[in-house]
A and B are shown apart, each in its own frame.
Chain A
């Protein structure tokens, strides 16, 4: 069990900055998710914790000990790789046992610990198969078992679900959540999928181009995004973002007029979530009125999209709503649900 401290950790290749002054303390037993689009430095950060990449600057501590100059094997971490990284010449049993063998742990306990790990990920029927004879989900479970067999200080998971198909992803995600609850080990989990981040994390770190954008619980990140990037990246669909003018206390742009906005006059970016707004009742006039651009049936709801403020704006409507493309629709967007961001710095304006 260990706390991980990252003190102003940076990674540079020549003049390219991979990770810029990453500073964070990951509490003992915390499940931390690093989230961001590809190339944002989240995997590099994890590889620096694992010791597979040198930090150009800064200090990494695991359990209070500076590990910058330690080999991966001396950091007591276990890692799950995106493409599994299983040893093709060993069967499942030997794959799971490998960390125990190379670390010279007493042979007498191998059998029991391998079987326990295999049971946790439901791999017992496959112990004698080679990795090539397993499906993708089974392979990833072998990788998980290999990571948990040793009871390390820290788990590192590098996009473990991204090579699986959609259905398997959901069930393996549930399995990871359950495992982490059972094992109570500090975990760093890298993903570009915000649903994984929301469902698994105690805390989420959102990154973009090597820079941390926001650190917070999933609810904080969802309900109070720190800037335009986080607002647009989190949520499915991402937050609707409108660029417009505030004068007095009303926000205006193409097809949009919202009164009661508390912000200084000038250019701002206004955001709201599709599920917070609603379709106007017949006869009622909403804050956004425009011809319908597209209508998507999601099953549990209907997504209505119009053009407004130089982009597309989506609103979730009840599942029985039907309309034709081109029909004039009106959305009710009360000022209370709106998030305001500075138009130039893109940071959150905390007037609300």
Chain B
């Protein structure tokens, strides 16, 4: 009987299923559509018919396309490699790294895996498939137009990798500084009994509420004139901060820090003070207790907060476009610079390819840290 009472009527299940499917389609459409456009020639990408954009006849006519064999074999290799990253790789890392070096082990493993993935998917696979297509007969004939020339143009010819490196520098700087200051401040504020802590948090909230352009406007003149200002200290070699990545890091940290402090503080508050006290009685100094007992318990919170900091720095347009000069440009403003008065359709497809490229790291990040993020987001929601 219980199963009957718990079962929803068919109409309701159908309706909710349909709604979910439609919603997922709507949510995924923009990203899926630009992914499709980015591997077509401009003629196909901006074709009038929906089907033409998907199958890309003009691209195929140009001799660039994926055969059935390519789709099956290539897809299988990519899926297998991705699966192995989550099933096989963790075991190898755990076995191969000495105790205490697990973080380093993961970094090395991630780099090696990326190299392997690049080598197989970009190096070996295309050669192999070309050779196979030639002898496969009907299975080797392209069925879907696909070209990676735009990606090549973006990353190699337009040196987009330089923007990628700049983005890495800025985001790494922002995440590191935000988390370093945020964990220390968050812990102190969570444990402090004084009234001052409360007012500091309120002040942080006010800074958080300021529009970003206010902060940028405040910093900009200082950075432009910084060589005059710093001359008394550094003499002739005083740097102009304007246009440099660390100027952007400073401003983004200023924008982001109140939020990280608040977020980390609430994570710390969920950790009972008895844990600090037990550690201190057991022989730790305040700092040792923080490092050896509190931080290991805090990882989900740190990773979640770190992810939000990463997103803020990675996706920022306003600050980076105003403060960086052309050779230090990060990826987001670099994409915007593809669009100008003289934009051709090729430029536009290249911009789309660049846009698809910058979403990849986000996917990887969320996939890798999904468990910590979920436990971080739900921390305190249920009693552990």
Contacts and interface: CB of A to CB of B under 8 A. Distances in A.
Interface in B250-301: 272, 274-275, 277-285, 288, 292-293, 296-297
Contacts of A78: 281-282
Contact of A85 (B278, B292, B296): B278
B211 interface: no
Interface stretch (A96-104, A111-119, A238-246, A290-298): A96-104
Given A89-B297, A102-B288, A50 B281 contact: yes
Given A83-B272, A85-B274, A85-B277, A99 B297 contact: no
B87 to A, nearest CB: 24
B296 A89 contact: yes
A102 B282 contact: yes
B281 A83 contact: no
Contacts of B297: 87-89
Given A52-B277, A83-B274, A71 B285 contact: yes
Contacts of A146: 282
A81 B274 contact: yes
A132 interface: yes
A124 B275 CA distance: 24
A102 B281 contact: no
B384 interface: yes
A71 B277 CA distance: 11
Contacts of B277: 50, 52, 72, 79, 81, 85
Nearest to B292: A102
A85 B279 CA distance: 9
A319 interface: no
B384 A102 contact: no
A315 interface: no
Interface string A52-86: 10000000000000000001110001110111111
Looking at chain A, what size class is its interface with the partner chain?
20 to 34
A79 B285 CA distance: 16
Interface residues of B, number: 18
Interface string B334-376: 0000000000000000000000000000000000000000000
Contacts of A98: 279, 282
Contacts, number: 64
Contacts of B279: 87, 98, 102
Given A85-B274, A102-B288, A73 B280 contact: yes
Nearest to A85: B278
A87 B272 contact: no
Contacts of A51: 280-281
Contact of A72 (B272, B280, B384): B280
A213 to B, nearest CB: 28
B283 A73 contact: yes
Contacts of A88: 297, 384
A51 B284 CA distance: 13
A71 B279 CA distance: 12
A99 B272 contact: no
Contact of B282 (A82, A99, A132): A99
B274 A99 contact: no
B280 A71 contact: yes
Given A87-B293, A88-B297, A132-B384, A79 B283 contact: no
Contacts of A87: 275, 278-279, 293, 296-297
A77 B280 CA distance: 10
Contacts of B275: 85, 87
Contacts of A103: 282-283
Given A79-B281, A87-B279, A103-B283, 6 more contacts: A73-B283, A73-B284, A85-B278, A86-B278, A87-B296, A150-B282
6 contacts: A50-B277, A79-B281, A83-B274, A86-B278, A87-B278, A87-B297
Interface of A: 50-52, 71-73, 77-79, 81-89, 98-99, 102-103, 132, 146, 150, 156
- What 9 A-B pairs come out closest when comparing CB atoms? A85-B278, A85-B274, A99-B282, A89-B296, A103-B283, A102-B283, A79-B281, A72-B280, A73-B283
